[in-house]
Amino acid sequence: MQRQPSAPTARVATVADAVRIVALVESAYRGDSSRAGWTTEADLLDGQRTDVDAVTAAVGNGGSEILVVDGPNGDLLACCQLQPHVDGNCRFGMFAVAPTQQGGGLGGRLLDFAEERSRGEHGATSIEMTVIAQRTDLIGWYERRGYRRTGETRPFPYGDERFGLPRRDDLHFVVLTKSLS
């Protein structure tokens, strides 16, 4: 019997982590370095995925939190953002795992931890996320973990370079949700 990896030791990020969070997210999704993992969006988007101002705002606004997993050398191995809402739903986003750590189960364990924290710490009964529709492999991964498409789509923010420079004109998001009760 294979031993299951333990849950990651995640902590709530602070403003001091913002630069490292941006570097992690960029490494997982943009540019050639992202191709070392399977979550790359390099064929869909150029430019940035996030920036220090956006991360600092997410960490410091009190309405959301970013969870991070520290590596042994002080680098960040993974992160995600939780944004609870009064309707019992928790928004999940900014999910990134260092490309060299992808495929080993860390992402799944962090997602489990985030779901548990959403339910326990924030009282959420469901969790919601958006994924670029063209990322069928990633959508499939979430569906295998119990997420379902709601049928809702949201537009990609074309013209707003804070979210990247699209390499195609048909990008949009699908909404996925999972019951936590």
Q: Which CATH superfamily is domain 10-179 in?
A: Gcn5-related N-acetyltransferase (GNAT) (3.40.630.30)
Quote the Cα angle for 142-98-139, to 5°. 15
Task: Give the helix ranges, DSSP H, for 62-170.
Answer: 106-120, 136-144
Q: Is there a contact between 26 and 54 (Cβ–Cβ < 8 Å)?
A: no
Residues 6+ apart with CB under 8 A from 167: 43, 44, 45, 46
Query: How would you write the pLDDT of the chain (181 residues) with one tens digit per residue?
Result: 334 445 568 999 999 999 999 999 999 998 888 888 888 888 999 998 899 999 999 987 778 999 999 998 888 999 999 999 888 999 999 999 999 999 999 999 999 999 999 999 999 999 999 999 999 999 999 999 999 999 999 999 999 988 899 999 999 999 999 999 8
Domain coordinates of the chain in residue numbers?
A: 10-179
